Structures are given as C-alpha cells and as structure tokens.
Structure 1
C-alpha cells in the first residue's frame, strides 16, 4: 500500500481541524530554571540545578541593550534564541510569533504613573518597550529578519491561540516558524487586575519536516488539564502557566495528550509524540 503524500496529510488535517508539526527546537526559562536542561531535571526529580540569574541575558543583544532590555523582552528573546539554536535554522529566514497575555505591565505602570505625575519626563526607551510587539521588534532588528512577525494576546488562552497560529502558518505553506510565549509579573494598581507573578517563557521552532518529535493539535470542547506537573506547580502563579501541562509532558520525554485552555468550554487538545 502506498504511503500518503505530504499534500494528502494536509488535506486530512484541514478536514478535521487537526494541525501537525515537528518540534525542531525548544527553549525554556523561568525563575530558578534558566534553560531546558535544568527544566527537564526539575520535572523529573524536583531538584534545582544550582543557582540561576534573576533575569535572562540573551546573547543576540549587544551588552548595553542586554542591560537595558526589560524582563519581558529578555525572556522572550532568550527562549526564542535557544529554540532556534537547537533547530540549527537561520533566524533571518524564520517567521516569528510572540505570544504574551499582558506584555510588560511594569513598564505600563511606569508610563501611566509618569503621564500622571510628570508627563514631560517620560523615557523614550521605556515608551517604545511598552508596546505589545516590543519583543518582536528586538528580534527582527537584531537578526536582520525580514520574515513576517506577529504579536498575539488572547487573555488566559494566549498560548493555545499562539500555538495554533504557528500551526496554521505551517499549514499555509511556511517551512518553519518560531513561537515565543512569555509573561512577567505586574505592579501597582494593575496588579489587582492582572495577578500574574514571576517570569516565564518557552520557545518553539516548529516545522513541516517529517519525523522527529511531533505534536498534533485541534480545538475541541472540554476542560483544560490542571497544572499537576513539577513545572506547572512551580510557576502556576504566572499568566502563561496554562502552557505548562504540555511543557511538563515534553520534559518527561513521554508521549501524552494534553488539553490546554483555549476559551470558555474549549481546549486545544495536543497530542505529543516523542521521537524513538
């Protein structure tokens, strides 16, 4: 019997709403866990591997820019950079998606307070870091990337929507896509509305290539999985924690089906299939 062709696979996916991709690269950063190797160890043993910096320091930025970059930009670039490095692809050629629930509420609080108290003294640097696509701007400028870039937010459902956006771009013909999902904490009056805390980010390079570790995803009715894994328990205070059932499953290296929060009464059902 002949094997289905690549086109046949996409036709089947389009009919039932399932999208599929190969995970070519992955990056991770959260408080106390500064890379994917440390995350895998923590997920499997609950132990932290030594000390970790309080803020990522993405090497793609010049030293002065690394010091000035806000936490949101730093973590978004760190995990995207790690994922691309693992994939071996050229970042200049990759479309990018940056998904964040709130962007940078520390800077938003600063801008609002300064506009109230001393509007003439607002910092141009902090102002340009306040926009939701700040990380995308740093990424594309830093790498000289002319490929399309998107900034996504969808409240608690941001990761599910960002992941599906990446999969749809692949289904529409892109060879590979980098996805960076991240959130920080909040301060000031906004912290009573956005209760997220801590610093969390994950980066993926997804492609249409055959083989390797894969994921299949589709929207279905249902309830999301709780954060029962080690990483989920540690970082459930962060707004991006709804991605962690998938990250915990990846860290354990086992095939799994996880349901990620995608809206009221809806989930993104993700089947994770590890390479042998």
Structure 2
C-alpha cells in the first residue's frame, strides 16, 4: 500500500478547458465529439510550439501550471499508446518508399515528451516515461510514490492519450477522446492505493481510469476501484 496527497490537478480535453467545465463533465460525463482542437500552450516560444504534437501540447498544458514556481520537480509521464498519429505517418512513408524525417522519428519515441519538457523548463530532475497497458495510471503512481519516499517534496504525474487514427480503431478502443490529466503529488496520507490479486473479471468501462479517478476526486467519492488482468487496484480517500 502507498499513501500520498493530491495537492493540485489539471485536465484537458476538447471543449473542456476550465475547472468548471470539468466539474460539470464529472457530474454528468458524456462522449465528446471528434475534434481537432488543441490546448493553449502560448506560454511556450512559438518556435518550440510548432514542434509539438497535440499529445505533447496536452501534456504541457496540464503539467506546466502545476509545475509553476517549483524547482527540481520529478516528472512521471504515462501514455499507453503514445504518438500514434506520428507513428502512422512514419509507417505510411515507409510503405510509400518515402524518405523518413529524423525530426518526425525523434519526436515519435515514447520519451520524447519528457525530453522536450526537460529542455523547455531547463529541468534536470528524474523523469520517467511509462507505457503500462490498462493500468498505467497505477504504475505511474507507484513510480511517483517511490520518488516521494526517496525525499522528493513533490512529483508531477501526467497521463495523456491521443485519439487513435482510423487505421488503429480496431485495436485501440480505450481512448474515447483525447485527454490529459495532471496530478501534483506530495507526501501525506490523504489518499491510499492498494494492490490486491486474484482472478478478476475484466470489465470494459466507458471512461479511462484516469478520468474515473478525476470523477472520484471532483465528486468527492471516498473510494474507487480499477481491475486489470489479475490486478485489482483499490483507491481510498481519507474521510
């Protein structure tokens, strides 16, 4: 079992930009229409903004405000699928015998976001990029808890997923719309996360667990649960 506090949060999805937007959605969640909207990252230099995919922009849009004023802030970045649009573009170029762009490739790898974060914030703290199937949020929490136990005053956890291209639609079924959730975690016992094992029946939930956790946070639920394969994760908030 690990314990921690969620000191602050930020989230973004197309049409959900403000805290009030997310409170409304969490109380009455609906599927968002397909959109090419991108979050505002005007706090970044224009030259750098042009290099960022929507996935990276989402990560920066939720992470940057949470990191404001904090120095030596470790980052844990979690995405199950990563830069699927960039990857498909690269594969399409290969299939069509087109030359590959070194920049496109370098920005498609899974740790590209934390590399850009390190450069743009001049941040040299420990950073980790994870892809952990259906319970990546929980594995990200374990990584963050380890950093807190080693003495970090706070850890930034960012979870984000991009809408999959149509070519991947049959395989990527757990991203109802593009989203990003950022959590600023600090030492404490406001929340506890415990793993239990055993045979469980995997049920398909409508919303990714990062969004279900946000719903629990904003609707003041005392607990929530997430099961994946033979792992059952129990989240409990101190009353």
Q: Over aligned residue pairs, what C-alpha RMSD do you find?
A: 2.5
Show the counterpart of 2:22.
39
| TM alignment of 1:25-36, pairs within 5 A | 25-36=8-19
| TM alignment of 1:69-84, pairs within 5 A | 69-84=52-67
Stretch moving more, 125-134 or 31-40: 31-40
Show the counterpart of 2:214.
247
Show the counterpart of 1:191.
169
1:269 and 2:237 aligned = no
| TM alignment of 1:208-227, pairs within 5 A | 208=187, 210=188, 214-221=190-197, 227=205
Which has the larger Rg?
A: 1
Counterpart Cα distance in 1 of 2:183 and 2:140: 11
Counterpart Cα distance in 2 of 1:100 and 1:159: 9
Match 1:144 to one of 122, 135, 155: 122
Counterpart Cα distance in 1 of 2:103 and 2:117: 16
Match 1:182 to one of 154, 160, 169: 160
Structure 1: runs of 5+ lacking an equivalent: 1-17, 228-232
Structure 2 CA distance for partners of 1:255 and 1:131, relative to 1, 3 Å: same
Counterpart Cα distance in 1 of 2:214 and 2:8: 13
Structure 2 CA distance for partners of 1:224 and 1:166, relative to 1, 3 Å: farther
Higher relative contact order (CA 8 A, sep 6+): 2
Is the 8 Å Cα contact of residues 97 and 149 (structure 1) preserved in structure 2? yes
1:116 and 2:116 aligned = no
Structure 2 CA distance for partners of 1:162 and 1:270, relative to 1, 3 Å: same
Show the counterpart of 1:22.
5
Shift of residue 76, structure 1, vs aligned partner: 1.1
Stretch moving more, 184-193 or 129-138: 184-193
Structure 2: runs of 5+ lacking an equivalent: none
Structure with the bigger percentage of helix: 1
